[in-house]
A and B are shown apart, each in its own frame.
Chain A
Amino acid sequence: MHWLLLASDATNNSAYSYFPIGIQLIFAAGFVAFMIALSQWVGPKRKTNDKLQNFTSGIASHGDARQPMAIKYFLVAILFVLFDVEVIFFYPYAVNFRELGWAGFGAVVMFVSFFLLGFIYIIKKGALKWED
């Protein structure tokens, strides 16, 4: 029998008996939503300028949060994340150093050399050059 059929089958109690609970949940949520909407609707509203002001930590806001920054900042940041995260792979290797033996050592050397190639590439490309 298909799993969906189970829910619809009145003779099978296991799934069908949960149905009233679902209905009850919907009613509960509906009731809350209804009450909030009702209070909004019937309650008195007074809009003043002060009430609509942005308000953070008791200080009036000033300036724009979106200031342009040098792209190099992001580049260095993302490269840091990239290489830093890859270093994490050394931890599991260090833990299993003995078990992995020479084959593991070869693999890690390969990994490091690819790693190094990446470094050479970004340096050669001038990605880390701060001044133009």
Chain B
Amino acid sequence: MEIMKTLLAFIVLWPLVGFLVNGLGRNYFSKKRIAFYASEQIFASFIASIIVFILIKNNGAQGDITYFNFIHIGKLIIPFAFKIDQLSAIFLLIITGIGFLIHVYSAAYMQQEEQAHYGRYFSYLNLFIFSMLLLVLGANYVIMFIGWEGVGLCSYLLIGFWFKNDNYNYAAKKAFIMNRIGDLGFLLAIFWMIAKLGTANYSDVFSNVSQLSTTDITAITILLFIGAMGKSAQIPLYTWLPDAMAGPTPVSALIHAATMVTAGIYMVARSNVLYSLSEVAQNLVAITGLVTALFAATIAIKQNDIKKVLAYSTVSQLGYMFLGLGVGAYTGAVFHVMTHAFFKALLFLGAGSVIHAMHHEQDIRKMGGLKKYLPITHITFLIGCIAISGIPPFSGFFSKDEILAAAYAHNPVYWGIGVATAGLTAFYMFRLYATTFLGSFRGTPEQAHHLHESPSAMTIPLIILAILSVVGGLVGVPESLGGHHALHQFLSPVLLTEVKYETTHSTEYMLMGLSVAIAATAIVIAIVTYSKKPQISNSTGVGKLLENKWYIDELYDAIIVKPLGSLASFLKNVIEKSGIDAAVNGVGKLVNYSSRQLRLLQNGQVGGYILLMVLGMIVIVLIWVNDGYIYRFLMNLFFAK
């Protein structure tokens, strides 16, 4: 227990120290030292996380580890405590492991930045890791919320990292505001819990859940889910994620694909006890996930920015995870978080490598034929595409299959839409792959001249992630395929036993076959269509609708932003000017005026003063005798009997 307490403290503190050192010393340290120091801090956390993971695996989870009381007001005690169990241990590994790889990658990718900005970048990254660790380790919703806000802040800072570009700043603000809308829900959920149960500790909340009425549980879970919608980019709060691609590509990989956006999944999985008790919330989660998955996939088909495609694919995959959570496949969702972290980080880093090679060109229409210039990137990117498309035995197949199987058991319609989305996923991913790497190069000759494979600091993380994307699924091979689902057994103490699928192995084989077949077909179509002649002309009809992302941004602008803006300007011009300002100035004027009048009492005549004093005394005596008596005296005098 003590060793765990120390280890966890160090895991969290190392990135924080890295943040402080690099943040304060960014003007003094060399780039090499900054990058080394930042990465080394995360690596230390990673090693410690492995030890923690092994301890947990061998000894099982222990109770909360309390460091001190964070808030203590009256009966409400919110300890600064960590909860380390199977679920948080897995997230620890994902965060520190992928975080470390991305630090290494960034060291090369950000090389052109000035020293001070370089230091700023790495200190933000460290701060992000710190916040994310806080988020998953917190033993109560409040500590989670601190981390939750911390990652939101880092996301904001990193999206707007190149703050000289106004569009990037808008994107950063958009991300922050969208997240804040969700956070409000989260916060309300915490308040609700504290109001009803007087605690926000996971263990206390889950063990006292019987004290909550169904309405309470539904309200809390839906409010929590609103928080998750914001952070994990679900309809209707998803629009910030594609815009968040304004940040440096490694940031997109780390924050907007692999870790932060899965915070919502973590939160819902963590609260699985609550969700299992509310049918309504579960259905809401499942349907939101499903709709988001399909919706984002349709948009991704028509995007031409390499990072935007990946961003919509992330939204879509997150939808999958929520589908899993909604149908009770908590393990499946966590499994998918893990595999998705591998292949989506890989894809983003691959995209980063491409962008690096293309000198910050992100439009896939100007790429093509990169296969021969970027061999390592090409192979790893291909692995990522296969993994995300769900082709066995790559990792994405197993996790996606588990979710789909659970969805089928829940409702075949869910499964149908899920499989259709899987087909779309395979299609747009291979459209991206084919347009980028196959065919002939369509960029400027100058770009062609500079095309080169990225340095080893970038390719090595790619290779490691590619290996993980291939074999990562093996921890969760289902029984029907002869495995015994190690992940499932590992997580069973934390996550409720899921709905037992009433499907036989033969049904499962059929489902798997169907989804693989659809994916494979989509892949073939995509490669055939786009490898030779990529679509360059503007689309029309539905295509145009998709290319413009269903005009959702414009819709939000029209129905929310514009009315709010005009309300604000009304308040500013009318209410504030003639209402509040006038009142404030009026008070000032009134005080001044009464001062001028009261001053006249002080006329310098002693006689007058004494008269006023006597009058004052009389008033006091009158008050003294009054107190109801004079009134009653007169009453008795005139109206007595």
Contact partner of A5 among B629, B637, B641, CB < 8 A?
Answer: B629
User: Does chain A have a CB within 8 A of B599?
Assistant: no
Complex Cα–Cα for A9 and B640 (A): 10
> A1-13 interface mask toward B, CB cutoff 8 Å, 1 = contact, 0 = none?
0101101111000
> B605-641 interface mask toward A, CB cutoff 8 Å, 1 = contact, 0 = none?
0000000000000000000010001001100110011
Complex Cα–Cα for A10 and B638 (A): 11
Complex Cα–Cα for A59 and B507 (A): 143
> B464-489 interface mask toward A, CB cutoff 8 Å, 1 = contact, 0 = none?
00000000000000000000000000
Max chain B Cβ within 10 angstroms of own Cβ: one of A5, A7, A8, A9: A8
Complex Cα–Cα for A40 and B422 (A): 117
Q: Are the C-beta atoms of B629 and A4 separated by less than 8 Å?
A: yes
Complex Cα–Cα for A5 and B636 (A): 11
Complex Cα–Cα for A106 and B373 (A): 120
Q: What residue of chain B has the Cβ atom nearest to residue A9's Cβ?
A: B636
Q: Are the C-beta atoms of A8 and B632 separated by less than 8 Å?
A: yes
Chain A residues near B625 (CB-CB < 8 A): 4
Q: Are the C-beta atoms of A10 and B629 separated by less than 8 Å?
A: no
Which residues of A from 1 to 49 have beta carbons under 8 Å from B?
2, 4-5, 7-10, 19
Chain A residues near B636 (CB-CB < 8 A): 8-10
Complex Cα–Cα for A2 and B633 (A): 13
Q: Are the C-beta atoms of A2 and B629 separated by less than 8 Å?
A: yes
- The smallest beta-carbon distance between B623 and chain A, in angstroms, is 13
- The smallest beta-carbon distance between A20 and chain B, in angstroms, is 11
Complex Cα–Cα for A9 and B637 (A): 9
- Sorting the interface of chain A by its residue count into under 10, 10 to 19, 20 to 34 or 35 or more gives under 10
Chain A residues near B633 (CB-CB < 8 A): 7-8
Chain A residues near B641 (CB-CB < 8 A): 10
Chain B residues near A19 (CB-CB < 8 A): 637
Complex Cα–Cα for A5 and B625 (A): 10
- The smallest beta-carbon distance between B275 and chain A, in angstroms, is 67
Which residues of B from 258 to 296 have beta carbons under 8 Å from A?
none
- The smallest beta-carbon distance between A6 and chain B, in angstroms, is 10
Q: What residue of chain A has the Cβ atom nearest to residue B628's Cβ?
A: A5
Chain A residues near B632 (CB-CB < 8 A): 5, 8
Q: What residue of chain B has the Cβ atom nearest to residue A4's Cβ?
A: B629
Complex Cα–Cα for A5 and B632 (A): 9
Q: What residue of chain B has the Cβ atom nearest to residue A7's Cβ?
A: B633
- The smallest beta-carbon distance between B620 and chain A, in angstroms, is 15
Which residues of B from 294 to 351 have beta carbons under 8 Å from A?
none
> A51-79 interface mask toward B, CB cutoff 8 Å, 1 = contact, 0 = none?
00000000000000000000000000000
- The smallest beta-carbon distance between A2 and chain B, in angstroms, is 7
- The smallest beta-carbon distance between B121 and chain A, in angstroms, is 80
Chain A residues near B640 (CB-CB < 8 A): 10
Chain B residues near A7 (CB-CB < 8 A): 633
> B357-384 interface mask toward A, CB cutoff 8 Å, 1 = contact, 0 = none?
0000000000000000000000000000
Chain B residues near A4 (CB-CB < 8 A): 625, 629
Q: What residue of chain B has the Cβ atom nearest to residue A19's Cβ?
A: B637
Chain B residues near A10 (CB-CB < 8 A): 636, 640-641
Complex Cα–Cα for A9 and B633 (A): 7
Complex Cα–Cα for A10 and B633 (A): 9
Chain B residues near A2 (CB-CB < 8 A): 629
Chain B residues near A5 (CB-CB < 8 A): 629, 632
Complex Cα–Cα for A9 and B632 (A): 9
> A78-108 interface mask toward B, CB cutoff 8 Å, 1 = contact, 0 = none?
0000000000000000000000000000000
- The smallest beta-carbon distance between B129 and chain A, in angstroms, is 75
Chain B residues near A9 (CB-CB < 8 A): 636
Q: What residue of chain A has the Cβ atom nearest to residue B632's Cβ?
A: A8
- The smallest beta-carbon distance between A121 and chain B, in angstroms, is 32
Chain A residues near B637 (CB-CB < 8 A): 8, 19
Max chain B Cβ within 10 angstroms of own Cβ: one of A2, A4, A7, A9: A4
Which residues of B from 144 to 159 have beta carbons under 8 Å from A?
none
- The smallest beta-carbon distance between A110 and chain B, in angstroms, is 40
Complex Cα–Cα for A8 and B635 (A): 9
Max chain A Cβ within 10 angstroms of own Cβ: one of B629, B637, B641: B629
- The smallest beta-carbon distance between B214 and chain A, in angstroms, is 60
Chain B residues near A8 (CB-CB < 8 A): 629, 632-633, 636-637
- The smallest beta-carbon distance between A12 and chain B, in angstroms, is 11
- The smallest beta-carbon distance between A42 and chain B, in angstroms, is 34
Complex Cα–Cα for A2 and B632 (A): 13
Complex Cα–Cα for A8 and B633 (A): 4
| B residues apposed to A, CB below 8 Å | 625, 629, 632-633, 636-637, 640-641
| A residues apposed to B, CB below 8 Å | 2, 4-5, 7-10, 19
Extra pairs beyond A5-B629, A8-B636, A19-B637 (13, CB < 8 Å) = A2-B629, A4-B625, A4-B629, A5-B632, A7-B633, A8-B629, A8-B632, A8-B633, A8-B637, A9-B636, A10-B636, A10-B640, A10-B641
The 7 closest A-B pairs by CB, nearest first: A8-B633, A4-B629, A10-B640, A10-B636, A8-B632, A8-B636, A4-B625
7 contacts between A and B (CB under 8 A): A2-B629, A4-B625, A4-B629, A5-B632, A8-B633, A8-B637, A19-B637
